Amino acid sequence: MSAIQPILEASHLNVVYPLPGGEVPAVKDFSIEIGEREFVGLVGESGSGKSTAALALMGLVRSPGKIVSGEVRFRGESVLTKSDDELRSIRGNEIGLIVQNSRAALNPLLRVGDQIANVYRAHHRVGKKDALQRAVESLGAVGIPDPKRRANAYPHQLSGGMAQRILIAMATVNEPKLLIADEPTTGLDVTVQAQFLDALQSKVRDTRSAVVFVTHDLGIVAHYCDRVAVMYRGQVIEEATVEDLFARPKHAYTQRLIASSEDRRTAFNRIARTAANE
């Protein structure tokens, strides 16, 4: 499963937030390698820096944060030294992003189909009609029923789970080689979560993409990920394959994390299997 050269390499990434009281380090000395087609989980509690790290892999950081040092190489090319303009051809095209709050991530004044079409047109020279056609196809590919009608909907007309799946369509319409998913299932019901994750899994298998999946839910990690990195207070404290991590957790924090989610994990797996069978 691991490739000869990793599709993404981050080394010694540091992100800080300058606040009135002083600089707060959100991500400390973050390093990771993502191989092609690997499904890597990034786990930690709230405030561990996992979201910040994941976004930084694309060169994105929420204002007023700053990436102060470190390197990120995507397919051998340095990401952090490029300007926003130069990165535009990569973002949405070779690296896709799925965020947590789907309703907030969608433009409230535009139809969903048009928004997906715009992402397609941003990276391909096609007309509006063709792009919309492609958007409808991508909606169908993530398992949204009646995609042509759904494409005419506005974001506020959609349920949370539907909107989240639309984000998958939007992020993958250009078939990126790397998908970064920042807590996309947090806030969804467990059954909806399972639907979303299955759609995501089948989509990334089709497009043969790697995934960096940020979550605090170890159950999801156990079920879907190949490798896991555990973060605590901005640093990666443990990194292993999923089997190794759950069987032989080395760090005390990891052990505690696993212990606290054991019950949830069994419940989740049970429900996930039931949902898959429906």
Partner 1 sequence: MVEDGLGMPWKYVFRRLGIALVQLAAISVGVFFLMRALPADPVGHLVGFNASPEAIAHTRHFLHLDRSQWDQLAIYLGLDTSSGPGLIQGNLGSSWTTGTTIAEEVRTYLPITLELITYSFFVAVLVAVPIGLAAALKPRGPLSRVVFVYSLFAGAQPEFWWGLTFIFLFYVKLHLAPAPLGILNPLAQAPRTVTGMVTIDSLIAGNMSTFFEAASHLMLPVLTLAFVLSGPIIKMVRQNVLKTLQSDYMMYARSLGLSQFRIATYTLKNSLAPCLTLIGILYGYMLGGAVLIEQVFSLGGLGQYAVRSVLTFDFPAIQGIVLVTTTGSLLILLSSDVVHALIDPRIAR
Partner 2 sequence: MLNQVSVPADAPEAEFALTGTQAVPATVAGRAMRLVRVLLKDPLLVCGVLIVAVSLLLVVLGPWMAPYDAQLPTRDVSQAPPALSDVPSLILQSLQGKLHHPVHWFGTDSTGLDVFSRVLVAPRVDVVVGLAATALSLFLGTLLGLFAGYFGTRSAESIIRISDVFQSFPIFILAMILVVLTGRNVIDIIVTLACLYTPIYLRLTCSQVVSQVGRTYVEAARAVGNREIVIALKHVLPNSLTPALIQASVTIGWAILFTAGLTFLGAGVRPPTPEWGGMIAASANYLVLGEWWPSVFPGIAISVTVFGYAIIGNVLEARFRQ
Q: State both tokens at 198.
A: 């299955």
63 vs 277, which CB is nearer to partner 2? 63
125 is a contact residue toward partner 1 (CB under 8 A): no
63 is a contact residue toward partner 1 (CB under 8 A): yes
Residue with tokens 């973002």: 91
Q: Which among partner 1, partner 2, none contacts residue 65 (Cβ within 5 to 8 A by kind)?
A: partner 2
One-letter amino acid at 254 equals T
Cα 174 to Cα 82, 94, 118, 151, 257, distances in angstroms:
21, 7, 11, 17, 36
Q: Is residue 236 a contact partner of residue 30, using CB atoms and an 8 Å limit?
A: yes
Q: In whole angstroms, what is the distance from residue 117 CA to residue 87 CA?
A: 20
Q: Is residue 223 a contact partner of residue 266, using CB atoms and an 8 Å limit?
A: no
Residue with tokens 């994990």: 265
13 vs 162, which CB is nearer to partner 2? 13
Contacting positions for partner 2 (CB under 8 A): 17, 19-22, 24, 26, 47, 52, 62-65
Q: Which among partner 1, partner 2, none contacts residue 236 (Cβ within 5 to 8 A by kind)?
A: none
One-letter amino acid at 210 equals A
17 vs 253, which CB is nearer to partner 2? 17
Q: Which among partner 2, partner 1, none contacts residue 28 (Cβ within 5 to 8 A by kind)?
A: none
Q: Contact residues for partner 1 (CB under 8 A)?
A: 58, 60, 62-63, 84, 87-93, 96-97, 99, 101, 104-110, 118-119, 122-123, 149-150, 152-154, 156-157, 170-171
